[in-house]
């Protein structure tokens, strides 16, 4: 010990040390990133397959790339939506719509990844709608913990007996069913779907894709136009379904969802405000980057943050509504 070190110096140095320790103890910890739920993603997405032989002709995004993609977007929980099995029948357009019109794999791969990373992923259950064993296959995965049915993307009437079996299954297990609406391609009869909303009031339906988003516009007359770019007049079929039925929800994913935002941002500000308790972020993009102009999911997140108007609405769309609906 240095004997020339005075008592006054010792006290002063000790006080500074204690003050520093106190500041360290009371310093705010870095804020945790805001939680974001992505309700719409797929595994083995983005490749190409021969619809007749089912041979993959172009590589799809692998799991490692997918996990990095979701992290780059800032997503903290993702719902994995599988395809149905590979079959040649009218509802899969002779195989064209197998793999959700791509290379997306069926239930088992989505289930396995969700079980491997339960903090990051949950899974849905799916099967080709009009296969006789579809309810049994879907129920198997519901019993294993699937949080929804879907993505239902097959060439069937929306009010067919086969689809109503799935609605009853969704009701029995109290899970939502996510439907891809595309004129003359998937889930025919969008204009009369209100009958199903009324018949199954305990089933939560999630609307998605081209016909769903095109019909936010009251003036959308030509249903063959899947990606309209005109200004929007409120009061379209989609707008009314969301307003009039407590069991109708909206999935903001894909180019159709982001296109609905960008075609008329002024309208969409009010649309988000009006349906702030019904809309949910989804990405449904097949890229490997997860950010910037090349990623639809990242663009949608940016648009929500730009146009939501309030932090409360933003958090509902990016997190709260999905957490509530899917019980996450």
Dist. CA 31–CA 38, nearest whole Å: 21
Give the pLDDT band (50/70/90) at residue 52.
confident
Please give the tally of structural domains in the chain: 1
- pLDDT on residue 29: 62
* 287 inside domain: yes
Burial tier of 252 (Cβ tally within 10 Å: 0-12, 13-18, 19+): buried
* 18 inside domain: no
Q: Tokens in use for 199? A: 């018949």
Dist. CA 29–CA 191, nearest whole Å: 52
276-320 pLDDT tens trace? 999 999 999 999 999 999 999 999 999 999 999 999 999 999 999
* Phi, psi (degrees; rounded to nearest 5) at 318: -90, -15
57-77 pLDDT tens trace? 999 999 999 999 999 999 999
Range of the domain at 302: 38-325
Buried b (16+ CB within 10 A) or exposed e, 151-168: bbbbbbebbbebbebbbe
* 16 inside domain: no
* 127 inside domain: yes
* 99 inside domain: yes
CA distances to 75, 134, 176, 192 from 327, rounded to whole Å, are 17, 24, 10, 29
Dist. CA 259–CA 114, nearest whole Å: 30
* 156 inside domain: yes
* 319 inside domain: yes
Give the pLDDT band (50/70/90) at residue 181.
very high
Q: What is the dihedral of CA 223, 225, 227, 233, to 10 degrees?
A: -60
- pLDDT on residue 123: 98
CATH number, domain with residue 135: 3.20.20.140
- pLDDT on residue 30: 62
Enter the pTM of the model.
Answer: 0.90
* 1 inside domain: no
CA distances to 35, 52, 213, 230, 241 from 260, rounded to whole Å, are 24, 34, 6, 10, 16
């Amino acid at each position: 010990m240095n004997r020339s070190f005075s008592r006054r110096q010792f006290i002063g140095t000790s006080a500074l040390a204690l003050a520093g320790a106190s500041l360290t103890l009371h310093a705010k910890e870095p804020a945790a990133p805001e939680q974001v739920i992505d309700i719409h993603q797929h595994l083995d997405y983005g490749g190409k397959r021969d619809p007749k032989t089912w041979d993959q002709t172009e590589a799809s995004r692998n799991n490692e790339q997918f996990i990095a993609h979701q992290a780059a977007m800032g997503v903290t929980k993702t719902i994995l939506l599988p395809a149905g099995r590979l079959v040649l029948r009218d509802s899969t357009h002779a195989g064209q719509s197998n793999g959700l019109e791509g290379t997306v794999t069926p239930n088992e791969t989505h289930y396995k990844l969700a079980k491997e990373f339960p903090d990051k992923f949950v899974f849905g259950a799916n099967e080709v709608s009009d296969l006789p064993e579809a309810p049994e296959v879907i129920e198997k995965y519901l019993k294993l913990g699937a949080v929804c049915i879907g993505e239902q993307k097959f060439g069937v009437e929306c009010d067919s007996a086969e689809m109503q079996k799935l609605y009853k299954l969704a009701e029995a297990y109290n899970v939502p069913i996510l439907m891809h609406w595309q004129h003359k391609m998937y889930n025919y009869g969008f204009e009369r779907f209100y009958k199903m909303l009324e018949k199954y009031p305990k089933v939560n339906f999630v609307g998605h894709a081209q016909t769903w988003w095109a019909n936010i516009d009251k003036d959308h007359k030509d249903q063959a136009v899947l990606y309209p770019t005109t200004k929007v007049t409120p009061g379209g079929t989609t707008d009314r379904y969301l307003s009039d039925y407590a069991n109708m929800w909206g999935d903001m994913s894909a180019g159709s969802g982001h296109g609905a935002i960008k075609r008329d941002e002024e309208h969409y500000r009010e649309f988000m405000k009006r349906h702030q308790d019904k809309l949910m972020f989804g990405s449904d993009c097949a890229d490997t980057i997860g950010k910037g102009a090349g990623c639809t999911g990242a663009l949608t997140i940016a648009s929500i943050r730009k146009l939501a108007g309030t932090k409360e609405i933003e958090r509902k769309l990016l997190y709260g509504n999905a957490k509530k609906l899917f019980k996450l």
